Structure 1
């Protein structure tokens, strides 16, 4: 049996912080920062292979067994609802998923009285579930970027999006009215890999858990 573990990690801030985290448990993936075009990095001396994948694709690679482990934001996991084992909150990349609306609308608005809303978002599944749970009929408009623009041009009254400081919302005349979820980066594991390579994967989980406190 091939004992090499495959880890899927997205580019950007998550990649840098993941590499720092793995280095603290003796897994050196620093070579991933050296070549911006390479997508597969083999570390045979460590029995590790690392893949650079789009953040939204990490759960798919892990669910289908192309990667044993993955690093991904909780927002992606909530939206996709894949069949994965999620053992660990890695405690970085903190932000919030919120409902926001124009400040002028928010002044006299009461979310508990909403019956119908039109919402623009990158997260239609999460938004639909959130409003359905509140008994609110929601017209969801899927966008891929610049979500804050939608209320400004009349595409929607409200948005569901990620915020960290909220500064982008403020600059566009929007304010938060509800928090749907707090988001951090998570470790996910393929369920079959957890059984067939239990000792190795459990060692990584335990090692990360120990340094994260």
Structure 2
């Protein structure tokens, strides 16, 4: 039996819908349950930021998680397939979308929950930064002068706009990836490659 960790929300629904299409039948979690067992699959409903931990630890053979999470965590997993779901961007945001004048600051204060992506991005630009780690509501930080800018995930941009901010630089694009535990890929290679092939064919047909 293959164990597959899915993030809560829209991506989980879209992934289960894909499994319904390629294997037939209905794949749906019952209300508030975190496990779904059907045929040769066991799906686990997991917080998005924890998906790669479950896969790396062997609690799940496969997982579906955003590329931004993989980059932030430096996850030691196999990235098998871009599922073309959950598209978003990681952007630098400022009040009004104003461009940052890097020549006028000795240290840029950046509010974010994506510490590693942020540090890597600004280090590549040779810009000294002070990272202010926040778990949420990062848009508030520049408004109260806690930070000069933010680095955050942007889907529609509505949250930034409603708080007077806008993206000024794009760091990376992200979408949901199918990932695998390295040992599972060896011990359950045939089953995993079957899923890979069917999902890849579905994505090509959809596009």
Specify if TM > 0.5.
Answer: yes
The DSSP-based 3-state class of the residue aligned with 2:194 is helix
One of 56, 61, 70 as aligned partner of 1:63:
56
The DSSP-based 3-state class of the residue aligned with 2:170 is strand
1:148 aligned partner: 139
One of 188, 191, 200 as aligned partner of 1:200:
191
One of 77, 80, 99 as aligned partner of 1:84:
77
Deviation for aligned residue 1:29: 5.7
Deviation for aligned residue 1:168: 1.8
Q: 1:176 to 1:6 in 2, by over 3 A?
A: same
2:27 aligned partner: 30
Number of residue equivalences: 204
Matched, 1:94 2:87: yes
2:178 aligned partner: 187
Query: Residues of 1 paired with 2:189 and 2:52: CA distance?
Result: 19
Deviations 1:40-93 (A, max 9, x none): 2222xx211111111111100001111000011111111111100011111111
Matched, 1:124 2:121: no
2:126 aligned partner: 135
2:157 aligned partner: 166
Query: Residues of 1 paired with 2:108 and 2:26: CA distance?
Result: 46
Segments of structure 2 that go 5 or more residues without pairing to the other structure are: none
Matched, 1:13 2:6: no
Deviation >3 Å, runs of 4+: 109-115
* TM-score normalized with structure 1 length: 0.90
Query: Residues of 2 paired with 1:65 and 1:114: CA distance?
Result: 45
* TM-score normalized with structure 2 length: 0.92
Deviation for aligned residue 1:14: 1.4
Query: 1:115, 1:135 within 8 Å by CA — same for their partners in 2?
Result: no
